[in-house]
A and B are shown apart, each in its own frame.
Chain A
Amino acid sequence: MDAILLQILNGLDKGGAYALIALGLTIIFGTLGVVNFAHGALFMLGAFCAVTVKTLLSLEQVVEDPNQLTAWGTPVEIRTPYVEAWFGDFGLTLLQYSVPVSILIAIPVMLAIGIAMERGLIRFFYKRPHAEQILVTFGLAIVIQEIVKAQFGANPIPQPAPDILRGMVDFGTVIGLEAGNVAYPAWRLVYFLFSAAIIGLVFAFLQFTTFGMVVRAGMADRETVGLLGIDIDRRFTIVFGMAAVVAGLAGLMYTPILSPDYHMGMDFLVLSFVVVVVGGMGSLGGAVAAGFLLGIVQSFASMNEVKAILPGIDQIIIYLIAVVILLTRPRGLMGRKGVMEH
């Protein structure tokens, strides 16, 4: 029971990341009809927003002490972060909370990146075949990756969670089990709650705001909405920016779980496309449901009891499920008729 609960929790935080990326992919596909292979790069750029903020907050005052020498004979450098020198304990707290603090910076930055990407490149490929869209966005992803690699190097850059969220939470007691039986890392629970909140916000925005209503109408019939005198292109550009923000925040908040490196977007992108296909192309609900479903299934497939019967199943389970679902439900779990079928 404990083992099963732990794997469900594992699946939920992993599934949260899958769902957030897949949600952004689906929004872009549903509004613009673009298959965006650069979406993983947006996830990675969000993570590097956290790295950049941490780097800026960690800038140090360096003073050489000629009385102390290193093992290689140079004076020892005494380093003090400027934020500590300027703001004392508050500065150190700010440094410790660099991951959540960087959300404030990441939202406008990712919005700007998304809008620039859509206006600068993607819009020229609206009416081009999906194969060409995939090629150009994949190329863009590689360019972004190489820029990040040149700027930050190839190595992962650790981004620890704030001290208060580094420990374990006794999750068992929360659901009425005996104390100490199901303990789970606090940050992973935070990530799951964060992803659920972002998903809720996106749905609420599309469902309950005038802007969202127009976007949904545009997704259903772009030409008619245009004929009503609404600048649907401008709204779709903003939607692209929103999708970039969602992907960016997903990457940013994942950094204490997985140290960011330039390749992290590609690692998630492939799985997220499988999630979108399983959920159903163009279905927001399908993307979210499939994200969590596949995250949980992948975790269960990693249990030793399962692997003892089916060795290596953890490596292929997601693709097996995709094959089975596409054979039985060609449009995916919640796919709409007509999407990607022409």
Chain B
Amino acid sequence: MRKLDISRRGLLKGSAIAGTGLAAPAVLTTPSWAQSYTNEPTGDTVTLGFNVPQTGAYADEGADELRAYELAVKHLNGEGDGGMLNTFSSKELQGNGINGKRVEFVTGDTQTKSDAARASAKRMIEKDGAVMITGGSSSGVAIAVQGLCQDAGVIFMAGLTHSNDTTGKDRRANGFRHFFNTEMSGRALAPVLQAAFGNERTAYHLTADYTWGWSQEGSIIKYTEDLGWNTEAAVRTPLGAGDFSQYITPVLNSDADVLVLNHYGRDMVNSLTQAVSFGLRDKQVNGEDFAIVVPLYSRLMAQGAGENVAGIFGSTNWHWSLQDAGSQAFVKSFGQEYGFPPSQAAHTCYCQTLLYADACQRAGTFRPSGVGAALEDFEFDGLGNGPTLYRAGDHQCFKDVLVVKGKENPNSEYDLLEIVEITPRSAVEYPVDLFEGELGPYNDGA
């Protein structure tokens, strides 16, 4: 029998190795090692947070956004017909969730209020373990939630937000926007307005009094004044004012021959309906037919305003009548699920979910910095609007912009807008430093 001979040096070495071995599992299970970024999924599911307005001035859009998110989750998990997964140029997603994890989701009501939106996003991050927050509408809300996600260390995939500030002065590394912005609307609309109404017009703006309204007003004034138009007045109206008559009556007594309604959602439905009821669409000023312009249009708003939209120009991010394969696949999938066509809000939210999932898959992680790197300067196609770029410098998507007009004789309650111009991406692109702002570094959180 061999005698066990333990030297002092051998004992120390053995203890060190044994100690390291015993300690290793403990080290790996401590929070700082096990979760190297906020809400890193450890089970076989991953949770996304859908934060949309279910009440308030933009509830219509919010309801449609939620439908689109639920459809996207179905397609990511391999249920349904796959929608735009079949047309998306990236083929990383296989219908087995994201990175092999089944996709689950939680929802919140932003109430179209920044504080409520931040509170529900915070709950989804801290209590529900959401690894990504997405949603809209309202740029004020989007900017507030984007800031929260940056601080918390999760990705924010903006839903419907149109203010330049979202990817301009308020841009953040953890935030990404697929939707277009007011700068692009201005660039796309101006030539169409010039062709329709000429160069000698006087415009009167009614503007929702928050970041999106200011941004919209600024862009339209900038590009219409370049045409030679005058701006008679730009009057700020409170969000959710309801009755806009007191703001519309001064238009009747002004020299303006164009009314620009920088309103959205329920506010636009009310202000446009009331402007038409005050006879503005049939009015003549100095021998010119009075014109109304709604710079940001949506099918849902057109439905709310009904026949009042006839002949009125505006821009939109996407429309269900587009004939490309991606748009058609989405319309078919959404229409069969819900019985009506999707809105632009639904489209952008569906795309954002797919784009996030695809970036995670390509990066092989949910870590915000990894996902962000996969999205930066990502060129893709097959999600409608033609070839699209997610620009690295400001996390803004660039794609074709649609100019639309309210149909005079719609065939159905959904067939209210006709596309009059598809403005190519090259015409709406602008330098990354046009707006001040810094993305700053990614925050991976925990």
Q: Which residues does chain A contribute within 8 Å of B238, judged by CB atoms?
A: 315
A154 to B278, CA, bound (A): 27
A72 touches B336 (CB 8 A): yes
A299 to B243, CA, bound (A): 11
Q: Which residues does chain A contribute within 8 Å of B252, judged by CB atoms?
A: 2-3, 6, 183
Q: Which residues does chain A contribute within 8 Å of B60, judged by CB atoms?
A: 155
Is A144 among interface residues, defined by CB-CB distance under 8 A? no
Q: Which residues does chain B contribute within 8 Å of A263, judged by CB atoms?
A: 55
Q: Which residues does chain B contribute within 8 Å of A6, judged by CB atoms?
A: 249, 252-253
Give A50 Cβ to nearest chain B Cβ, in Å. 16
A166 touches B246 (CB 8 A): no
A27 to B55, CA, bound (A): 32
Tell me the nearest residue of chain A to B238, going by C-beta.
Answer: A315
B336 touches A74 (CB 8 A): yes
Given A72-B331, A72-B334, A264-B242, A259–B270 Cβ distance below 8 Å? Answer: yes
Q: How many residues of A contact B (CB 8 A)?
A: 42
Is B427 among interface residues, defined by CB-CB distance under 8 A? no
A145 to B135, CA, bound (A): 25
Is A303 among interface residues, defined by CB-CB distance under 8 A? yes
Is B410 among interface residues, defined by CB-CB distance under 8 A? no
A3 touches B253 (CB 8 A): yes
Would you call the interface of chain B mostly helix, strand, loop, or mixed? Answer: helix
Q: Quick one: which of A149, A155, A267, A314 contacts B246, CB cutoff 8 A?
A: A314
Is B332 among interface residues, defined by CB-CB distance under 8 A? yes
Q: Quick one: which of A2, A149, A158, A258 contacts B243, CB cutoff 8 A?
A: A258
A303 touches B243 (CB 8 A): no
B269 touches A158 (CB 8 A): yes
CB under 8 Å from chain A, chain B span 172-214: none
Is B235 among interface residues, defined by CB-CB distance under 8 A? yes
A6 to B252, CA, bound (A): 9
> Which of A258, A299, A303 has the most B CB atoms < 10 Å from its CB?
A258
A155 touches B266 (CB 8 A): yes
A185 to B60, CA, bound (A): 27
CB under 8 Å from chain A, chain B span 248-276: 249-250, 252-253, 266, 269-270, 273-274
A302 to B245, CA, bound (A): 10
Is A131 among interface residues, defined by CB-CB distance under 8 A? no
B277 touches A7 (CB 8 A): no
B247 touches A302 (CB 8 A): yes
Q: Which residues does chain A contribute within 8 Å of B341, judged by CB atoms?
A: 71-72
Q: Quick one: which of A2, A168, A314 contacts B278, CB cutoff 8 A?
A: A168
Is B147 among interface residues, defined by CB-CB distance under 8 A? no
Give B406 Cβ to nearest chain A Cβ, in Å. 15
Q: Which residues does chain B contribute within 8 Å of A304, judged by CB atoms?
A: 233, 235, 250
Is B306 among interface residues, defined by CB-CB distance under 8 A? yes
Give B85 Cβ to nearest chain A Cβ, in Å. 17
CB under 8 Å from chain A, chain B span 49-67: 54-56, 59-60, 63
B246 touches A302 (CB 8 A): yes
Tell me the nearest residue of chain A to B249, going by C-beta.
Answer: A6
Is A37 among interface residues, defined by CB-CB distance under 8 A? no
Q: Which residues does chain A contribute within 8 Å of B55, judged by CB atoms?
A: 149, 154, 263
A2 to B321, CA, bound (A): 45
Per-position 1/0 for A250-292, Cβ under 8 A of B: 0000000111010110010000000000000000000000000
Q: Which residues does chain B contribute within 8 Å of A98, judged by CB atoms?
A: none
Give B6 Cβ to nearest chain A Cβ, in Å. 76
Give A12 Cβ to nearest chain B Cβ, in Å. 11
Give A31 Cβ to nearest chain B Cβ, in Å. 30
Tell me the nearest residue of chain A to B60, going by C-beta.
Answer: A155
A263 to B266, CA, bound (A): 12
Q: Which residues does chain A contribute within 8 Å of B246, judged by CB atoms?
A: 7, 10, 14, 298-299, 302, 314
B277 touches A259 (CB 8 A): no
Q: Quick one: which of B59, B274, B321, B332 contacts A73, CB cutoff 8 A?
A: B332
What 3 A-B pairs have minimum CB-CB distances, sorted nearest first?
Answer: A72-B335, A302-B246, A154-B59
Give 21 pairs: A residue, B residue, CB < 8 Å, sorted on A: A3-B253, A6-B249, A72-B332, A72-B336, A154-B56, A154-B59, A155-B266, A156-B304, A158-B269, A158-B304, A158-B306, A168-B278, A185-B279, A187-B277, A257-B245, A257-B274, A259-B269, A259-B304, A264-B242, A298-B246, A304-B235
Interface residues of B (CB under 8 A from A): 54-56, 59-60, 63, 233, 235, 238, 240, 242-243, 245-247, 249-250, 252-253, 266, 269-270, 273-274, 277-279, 304-306, 320-321, 328, 331-336, 339, 341
Interface residues of A (CB under 8 A from B): 2-3, 6-7, 10, 13-14, 70-74, 149, 153-156, 158, 160, 166-168, 183-185, 187-188, 257-259, 261, 263-264, 267, 298-299, 302-304, 307, 314-315
**A-B contact sample (16 more), CB < 8 A, given A154-B54, A259-B269:** A2-B253, A7-B246, A71-B341, A72-B332, A73-B332, A155-B59, A155-B63, A155-B266, A185-B277, A185-B278, A185-B279, A187-B277, A302-B247, A304-B233, A307-B235, A314-B246
